[in-house]
Structure 1
Amino acid sequence: MRIPALTVTAVAALLTAAPVRAQTYDPAYPICIQTYSHHGSAIICRFTSLAQCAATASGRAAQCITNPYYGPARATAGPNARRQREAY
């Protein structure tokens, strides 16, 4: 009797589980907003300044965070750029 009861419980738990969305950090923007609601939290990275994010977060259950994956574009070396020799 235990095995069928455990099987039914496991199947019910799997069928009622809500799908989880993956959090994505856009590496093009340095500031993200994390919003909180009854359905969970979400992180959206679409801000170029902390002030811009703070204005959006004002009056909401949200906070501004820095994007851990932000990487400003690196300038490419021109045709006359010299490569420095590494010291061993």
Structure 2
Amino acid sequence: MRLLGALLLALGVLWMTRPASAQMYDPRYPVCMHVYGELVGERMDCIFTSLDQCQAGAVGLPATCLVNPYYAPRSARPYRPER
């Protein structure tokens, strides 16, 4: 009986805890989609190159498109120091 109680307690604790989720803004893409809601979960998808592309992907979802505050555009040519 004690084992059953401990097992039920452990299962209850596991069921109540949610996995930790870190918000990640991918600096390679200028636009992010913030998806929210109980059914789809909350997440930040930074995989879009334009707001139009993001809005097309957000159709039918509880989501908002926004500019990535951590976007770091790549330069056209790599920097090479002079000799």
Coarse TM-score class (shorter-chain normalised): 0.5 to 0.7
Query: Between Structure 1 and Structure 2, how many residues are aligned?
Result: 70
Which position in structure 2 is the counterpart of 1:61?
62
Superposed CA RMSD in Å reads: 2.6
Separation in structure 2 between the aligned mates of residue 76 and residue 21 of structure 1, nearest angstrom: 34
TM-score by length of 1: 0.64
**Once the 2 structures are TM-superposed, how far is the Cα of residue 78 of structure 1 from its aligned partner?**
5.6
Cα deviations across residues 54-78 of structure 1 (Å, max 9, x unaligned)? Answer: 0011221001011010010134456
| Deviation >2 Å, runs of 4+ | 74-80
Instruction: Give 1:10-21 correspondences, 5 Å limit.
Output: 15=13, 16-21=16-21
TM-score by length of 2: 0.68
> For the pair shown, which has the larger CA radius of gyration, 1 or 2?
1
Unaligned runs of 5+ in 1: 1-11, 81-88
